[in-house]
């Protein structure tokens, strides 16, 4: 057998070996993803860092799909409207902020009302937590909850205002930028 044939054989064996390793890796990755989806079949525990807000009726939705998540309601047990809220699970979070637009503030949850919500990036083994909220009361706004969550909400609100202001700025031809 010539030297070039040995090199060619070695190359073919190497390619087959690499393809085998890749297929094993893909199989292990897929099995882990399926296992993670199955493990979400258990409703995570719920907590709140905001006194008058509570997560109620948590349930798994779209089980067995890529959009498997948890649907739940947030109950406002106070006479104050909720203007902003942040809910998290592990490193993931969702939020609604009715105070991004100073001229048109929106109530997110009415006094003694509920908010329907869904979260798809639920960290396995981590609870669903109401991290922070902003209430409207007779003194204006009243923020409660986790300090870091409140700071993040403020930063996101400022960024949204800045983007809206930049969008409304006239361009060189006098029209608003889009």
Residues 25 and 93 in one domain: no
Q: Does some domain include residue 137?
A: yes
Measured between alpha carbons, how far is 178 from 164 in angstroms, rounded to an integer? Answer: 10
**123 exposure class (CB count in 10 Å sphere: 0-12, 13-18, 19+):** middle
Q: How many CB atoms lie within 10 A of CB 175?
A: 8
Measured between alpha carbons, how far is 156 from 140 in angstroms, rounded to an integer? Answer: 20
Residues 50 and 103 in one domain: yes
Residues 33 and 61 in one domain: no
Residues 112 and 90 in one domain: yes
Contact 123, 89 (CB under 8 A): yes
Residues 24 and 69 in one domain: no
Full residue range of the structural domain in which residue 8 is found: 1-39
pTM of the predicted model as reported, rounded to 2 decimal places = 0.68
Q: Does some domain include residue 88?
A: yes
DSSP character at residue 121: -
pLDDT at res. 31 = 64
Residues 50 and 132 in one domain: yes
Which residues have C-beta within 8 Å of that of residue 82, sequence separation ≥ 6?
A: 53, 76, 107, 108, 109, 115, 133, 134, 135, 136
**57: helix, strand or coil:** strand
Q: Does some domain include residue 178?
A: no
If you compute the radius of gyration of the chain from its CA atoms, what whole number of angstroms results? 25
pLDDT in tens, the chain (178 residues): 566 677 777 777 777 777 777 778 777 776 665 554 445 658 899 999 999 999 999 999 988 888 889 999 999 999 999 999 999 999 899 999 888 877 888 999 999 999 999 998 888 889 999 999 999 877 766 888 888 888 888 888 788 778 877 777 666 666 655 5
pLDDT at res. 79 = 94
pLDDT at res. 104 = 85
> For the CA atoms of 103, 108, 111, 117, what is the dihedral angle to 10 degrees?
180
Say how many domains are in the chain.
2
pLDDT at res. 108 = 95
């Amino acid at each position: 057998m010539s030297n070039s044939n040995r090199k060619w054989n070695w190359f073919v064996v190497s390619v087959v070996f690499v393809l085998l390793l890749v297929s094993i890796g893909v199989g292990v990755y897929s099995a882990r993803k399926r296992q993670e989806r199955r493990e979400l079949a258990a409703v995570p525990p719920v907590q709140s860092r905001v006194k008058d807000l509570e997560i109620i009726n948590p349930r798994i939705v779209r089980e067995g799909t890529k959009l498997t998540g948890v649907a739940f309601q947030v109950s406002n047990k106070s006479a104050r409207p909720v203007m902003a809220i942040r809910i998290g699970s592990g490193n993931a979070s969702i939020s609604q902020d009715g105070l991004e637009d100073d001229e048109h503030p929106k109530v997110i949850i009415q006094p003694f009302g509920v908010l329907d919500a869904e979260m798809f990036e639920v960290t396995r083994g981590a609870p669903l937590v109401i991290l922070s909220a902003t209430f409207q009361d007779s003194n204006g706004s009243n923020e409660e909850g986790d300090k870091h969550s409140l700071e993040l909400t403020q930063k996101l609100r400022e960024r949204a205002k800045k983007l809206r202001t930049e969008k409304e700025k006239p361009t060189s031809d006098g029209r608003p930028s889009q």
